[in-house]
Structure 1
Amino acid sequence: MWRLILLLVFIAGCQGTSEEDPERYGTEGKVSIIDWIDLVKFNGLSYESAYKLVVDDPDMVGGVVGEVEFNVDKNVTNPSYQMVSGDATYLDKDTKLYRIKGQPKMLAVESKEEINGFKIYDSSSKSWHFKDLDPTSVEKIGLYHDQQLIREIEGGRDIRDFIELINQGDEAPGYTPSHERKVYTMVFHTNEGVARQYRVYENSNVWYWHPWDTVLLPDSVGEWFTLYE
């Protein structure tokens, strides 16, 4: 009996909330779990999380240009909600938004989980896939494990050799790791103020990555990642 009473009180509370703001909470008073795209709305533009990018150097991050005013995921249950400037789907309220030097269509927020300490949001339509990277524009490659730099590849010949090596992989869309994998990161530095990052995985001495489909890499790739560990 008490469970029934508590359930009715909970439903009534949800319905009361929806009457206050149907745009945020829906019109039927139902609690929804929504898988939002990771976005920030700022000055009328939508900035989407650019998971393939990191700041080239922390010094490339400029001053604060604004703050998040409203967290959508924690407060909105209406999947049709239209975001307004100041909204962020997952960033907490009062999160500071920074500009990135030389990248007027991007924003950065501090993040301990990202290489160089910042997460990037991008409002441009530019593709950051590996296939779109010009190898001749790469000035340096950083290899990381658990956000710790384990090796830097510099000099035209070494950079060229490494890129040629990872391009020698074989597509294996049906490959499934058999054990717990280790995760590494390749960071390709150019002169854009931001660097491109791509994950590489090792599973029982099998190296692979996902430039698009799953690609098995030559065994010799491991020498680049483990030499200085």
Structure 2
Amino acid sequence: MRILMIMMGIVVFLSGCSTSVDPNPIKGNSTIDWVDFVKLNGDSYTGLYGRVLKNPGDVTDEVVGEVKFKVGDVVTNPNYKTKAGDAAFLEIGTKLYRVNGYKSEELIAAKDENQIGGYRLYAGDDFVKTLQLHYKDMPKDKVERIELYHFDQTTPFNTLLNDDKERFIELLDHGKDTPNYRPQNKDGDPAYYQMVFYTDGPLGYAYSIADDRVNVFFYPWDTRVVDDEVRNWLNP
């Protein structure tokens, strides 16, 4: 009996060691480079920065979920397991809304006055794989208008239609791919702009373009330098 009791004690001790719990699942010694995400109702979403709502009115009043915990700048334990209600950068209490024309697991939106259209979009992990986000995949023959924005501005300073729209796209398409191009910063940082191409679909295509005072360039994949003529629309 004494031997049996000793053996049982050893088993209990070993079991306790194997199920030890991290005393602090949030704090650690790591700096985590979080992707802009949110988890709700068993679904995981990623920030969709390459698309803009053509009609912000498509965002409904139906709340899909609410952020309960912001992990960015708080969680430093690399073993932390994200859970429903977690978000990387959205503030606690931020509501996520359903968007007309999409299932709630496909696309949702959070109010953000710093984003074009007034919303930050989040795409479900499965849905984002179906989106064509690269410039080469954009249906250029269906572009209805192009809006140009100064970086970090939400009101367009120029809208291109008809011949202007066609010529602008032509200049982008016929630029020179220069993968190793480095911005010329001797006269200060480049001026950055946002280009938003609206087609007949509900989501516009958004890309950045920059002018370093020597060349104008953008990133369809690798860096592409475009003709100086494009400045006619960037500096109207």
SS in 2 for 1:198: strand
Judging changes above 3 Å, is the alpha-carbon distance between structure 1 residues 192 and 100 closer, same or farther for their aligned structure 2 residues?
Answer: farther
| Residue type at the aligned position of 2:107 | M
1:161, distance to aligned residue in structure 2 (A): 2.5
Task: Check conservation: 2:218, 2:224, Cα contact below 8 A.
Answer: yes
| Residue type at the aligned position of 1:129 | H
Q: Given the two structures, how large is their TM-score scaled by the length of structure 2? A: 0.79
SS in 1 for 2:157: strand
TM alignment of 1:201-216, pairs within 5 A: 201-216=210-225
Tell me what 1:135 maps to: 140
1:41 aligns with 2:39: yes
User: 1:101, 1:140 → 2: CA distance?
Assistant: 22
1:183, distance to aligned residue in structure 2 (A): 0.7
Query: How many equivalent residue pairs?
Result: 204
Task: Check conservation: 2:179, 2:222, Cα contact below 8 A.
Answer: yes
Deviations 1:5-33 (A, max 9, x none): xxxxxxxxxxxx951x43x44xxxx3321
Tell me what 1:68 maps to: 67
| Residue type at the aligned position of 2:38 | V
TM alignment of 1:60-139, pairs within 5 A: 60-63=58-61, 64-104=63-103, 105-123=106-124, 124=127, 125=129, 126-139=131-144
TM alignment of 1:138-177, pairs within 5 A: 138-146=143-151, 147=153, 148-155=155-162, 157-177=163-183
Q: Structure 1: which 5+ runs fail to align?
A: 1-16
User: 1:111, 1:73 → 2: CA distance?
Assistant: 18
Task: Check conservation: 1:55, 1:193, Cα contact below 8 A.
Answer: yes
Task: Check conservation: 2:184, 2:214, Cα contact below 8 A.
Answer: no
Task: Check conservation: 2:47, 2:122, Cα contact below 8 A.
Answer: yes
| Residue type at the aligned position of 2:230 | V
Task: Check conservation: 1:102, 1:192, Cα contact below 8 A.
Answer: no
TM alignment of 1:44-55, pairs within 5 A: 44-55=42-53
Task: Check conservation: 2:41, 2:65, Cα contact below 8 A.
Answer: no
Task: Check conservation: 2:132, 2:138, Cα contact below 8 A.
Answer: no
Q: Given the two structures, how large is their TM-score scaled by the length of structure 1? A: 0.82
Deviations 1:126-164 (A, max 9, x none): 231111111122222111114231111223x44332212
Judging changes above 3 Å, is the alpha-carbon distance between structure 1 residues 192 and 86 closer, same or farther for their aligned structure 2 residues?
Answer: farther
Identity %: 36
- Aligned partner (choices 178, 194, 199) of residue 184 of structure 2: 178
Task: Check conservation: 2:67, 2:87, Cα contact below 8 A.
Answer: yes
| Residue type at the aligned position of 1:69 | K
1:74, distance to aligned residue in structure 2 (A): 4.0
| Comparing 92-101 and 210-219, the one that deviates more | 92-101
Task: Check conservation: 1:107, 1:122, Cα contact below 8 A.
Answer: yes
| Residue type at the aligned position of 1:92 | E
1:194, distance to aligned residue in structure 2 (A): 1.9
Task: Check conservation: 1:55, 1:194, Cα contact below 8 A.
Answer: yes
1:35, distance to aligned residue in structure 2 (A): 0.5
SS in 2 for 1:212: coil
| Residue type at the aligned position of 1:164 | E
Q: Structure 2: which 5+ runs fail to align?
A: 1-20
Task: Check conservation: 1:135, 1:160, Cα contact below 8 A.
Answer: no
| Residue type at the aligned position of 1:130 | Y
